[in-house]
Amino acid sequence: MSSTHNNGRAVFNTKFGAIATTVGSAVGLGNIWRFPYEAGVHGGGAFMICYLLFVLLIGVPLLCAEFCMGRGTRSNIFGAYKKLGDGSISHIAGPLGIIASLLILSFYSVVAGWTVEYCLSSLTGGLDFSNREVGHGQFLNLTTGWRPLLWTVVFLIANFTILISGVTKGIERASNILMPLLFLLLVAFCVNSFFLPGFEEGMKFLFTPDFSKITSGVLLGAMGQAFFSLSLGLGCMMTYASYFSSKNKLGKTAATTALLDSAVAILAGVIIFPAVFSFDLSPEAGPTLVFEVLPYIFNQLPGGMIWSTLFFLLLFLASLTSTVSMSEISITYFCEEKKMKRKGATILSSAIALVGGLLCALSFGALSDFTIFGMTIFNLFDYLSSNICLPIGGFICSLFVGWWVDKKFIKDQLTDYGKYKFPLLGLFRFCVRWLCPVAIFIIFLNSIGIV
């Protein structure tokens, strides 16, 4: 990752590099694909307000907590819990993080595969959404059947190649330029939204909270989305922080990550919902929402084909920087705890994700009728990991950092051994000790109908 080493582990050279990589992990399909679909399913404004509150009150403190654990121990998730506590917690949190990260990698690769498919179809002029019948036929053709299987495999191979060939640095450098470009493109599409006939209705849907719509499902969905989008709960940010240099201000890095990540999600919402109402589509379409809606927007833009190709290409790259971070959780674990070689560990993680990914891809085609608890395999993987595993991981992390870990250790991490101030230390402590665990616990009980 760089030329500087710390206890035998690589360290990011610059503060910017650390922030860019952390943001690269956070910003991805979670913001542009998952956020609009979850907001659409959960009533728009009600979901939005809960989501933002969770990012602020649970997300930022937990980011700081994961950063402290990662940089302070310079370990993977399992090693970090082991070094700071006793083995028993690491035996719960470690496997939870590894299993959930592989579940996420599976379904994430399917959606990332769609972005490859859409990018190539746009490039060859095949993405024709000129009217609803043609558009829907195209959409089904691109996201069901055998083709998604192929693109899932292609995406996982791309991910594997990056992980194994050590071009991580190259992709990081590329993403430092390309992610701001993606941001600019999103801003341009937002401006375009303003001129769509459904702009007002879309904005109302997204930003007017109807408090009567806040149900246990909305709370759980919004909490899961906050965790997913910030890459929290599985030790992903912990692993990345283990590469931070001691100069990194952890609080500032956490706040910047949360701010940029939420900004991208909101931009995506502002692009999607006016279009949903302009083209008479349903906000409740679920996981396929963005792929059904975006082509209509591109179609009515001058030079739509170019916009569309560029957009899906950038989205594909944003997905890669996220899956690289996700894969790193299991790879560092297999290497550092199971003493595997990096190559073997990468092959093992990719092979598991490949099997899971193919099952998820099939759940839009041949396995679409196969459901467990009323969910397809794809939806089950998404729900289990985002709404169950990530919050449990966050719950364990907050209790651990709040009650178990030495206070001085945390303070030293947040202030770089007193070199600079961290004025919100009291608030941080309150959040990790009380607010995060209690909120996560209540939302859980609520969603299974106990409270």
Residue closer to ligand TRP, measured from CB, 391 or 437: 391
- CA proximity to 451, closest of 220, 443, 435: 443
Residue closer to ligand TRP, measured from CB, 386 or 447: 386
Q: What is the nearest approach in angstroms of ligand TRP to the Cβ of residue 172?
A: 15
Say if CB 155 and CB 353 are below 8 A apart.
no
Q: Which residues would be at the binding site for ligand TRP (CB under 6 A)?
A: 25-26, 28-31, 104, 228-229, 231, 234, 236, 322, 325-326, 390
Q: What is the nearest approach in angstroms of ligand TRP to the Cβ of residue 35?
A: 8
Which amino acid appears at position 84 of this protein?
L
Residue closer to ligand TRP, measured from CB, 270 or 281: 270
Cα separation, 58 vs 233, in Å, equals 11
Residue closer to ligand TRP, measured from CB, 326 or 410: 326
Question: Which residues are within 8 A (CB) of 370 and not within 5 positions of it... i.e. 6 or more apart?
Answer: 363, 376, 377
Residue closer to ligand TRP, measured from CB, 26 or 359: 26
Residue closer to ligand TRP, measured from CB, 75 or 278: 75
Residue closer to ligand TRP, measured from CB, 240 or 422: 240
Q: What is the nearest approach in angstroms of ligand TRP to the Cβ of residue 386?
A: 7
Say if CB 270 and CB 206 are below 8 A apart.
yes
Which residue's CB atom is positioned nearest to ligand TRP?
30
- CA proximity to 234, closest of 360, 155, 152, 331: 331
Say if CB 247 and CB 413 are below 8 A apart.
no
Within 10 A of 186 (CB to CB), how many other CB atoms are there? 20
CA 132 to chain centre: 31
Cα separation, 60 vs 383, in Å, equals 22
Q: What is the nearest approach in angstroms of ligand TRP to the Cβ of residue 288?
A: 17
Q: DSSP 3-state assignment of 449?
A: coil
Q: What is the nearest approach in angstroms of ligand TRP to the Cβ of residue 377?
A: 18
Q: For the CA atoms of 227, 314, 109, 304, what is the dihedral angle to 10 degrees?
A: 110
Q: What is the nearest approach in angstroms of ligand TRP to the Cβ of residue 115?
A: 12
Q: What is the nearest approach in angstroms of ligand TRP to the Cβ of residue 346?
A: 16
**Dihedral angle sign, alpha carbons of residues 146, 152, 154, 157:** negative
